[in-house]
Structure 1
């Protein structure tokens, strides 16, 4: 078995990057690297935490730009997943133009939206899934 010289080896070092800041530098110099994060993830303001010390500063936070589309806001979605009218914190009969009934898969409001079984209250659960199958 012939020993390969160090320069002839097909194996190269692989780097694992933890932050976006590292990515730019390594893109310019390395052929291959592993990302320990999703580079397409957008910034999520819900992950921010504020302490009581900075409570007054909360008013200064504003989202000025966002990229890409959000499935449960920009495409048809079941009412319980609507981002325009969050389920449970807004009245369930409210809906946007892209909401559809989870039970009958028709645009909201369906014929049963607020009467009898109130499809506006449907979400992914055992009982509602049985109604969907019927």
Structure 2
């Protein structure tokens, strides 16, 4: 199988700022605190989280996710991941999507899969447990 990268700006109309952010970050770096393509950013973010870990309600989040996912009939891998969030050496990649008529299901699936892939990549590169968390923002109806 051949995998090709297609510049975002050639697929959809986009601004110069977005194109520079995606393809030439150094040109717009003064507008942003962190470069998301810099692998060192993840190490710095983990240190930031580690520095305030005692303030994070890990156990409450973990038990809530385990309870909810059990009610949804989730598999053992999902329940184990939700349980792992309670551990101080576990990190999360969190995202969600507002339920909407015009964003369509493909965008929602794309966001969820991106969280999974980013989590896997971070686990492999940083040798830490990283759990993807995705929620449907169904309580936001604007």
TM tier, smaller: under 0.3
Greater relative CO (CA pairs within 8 A, separation 6+): 2
Give the structure-1-normalised TM-score.
0.18
Structure 1 or 2: more strand by fraction: 2
Report the TM-score when normalising by structure 2. 0.17
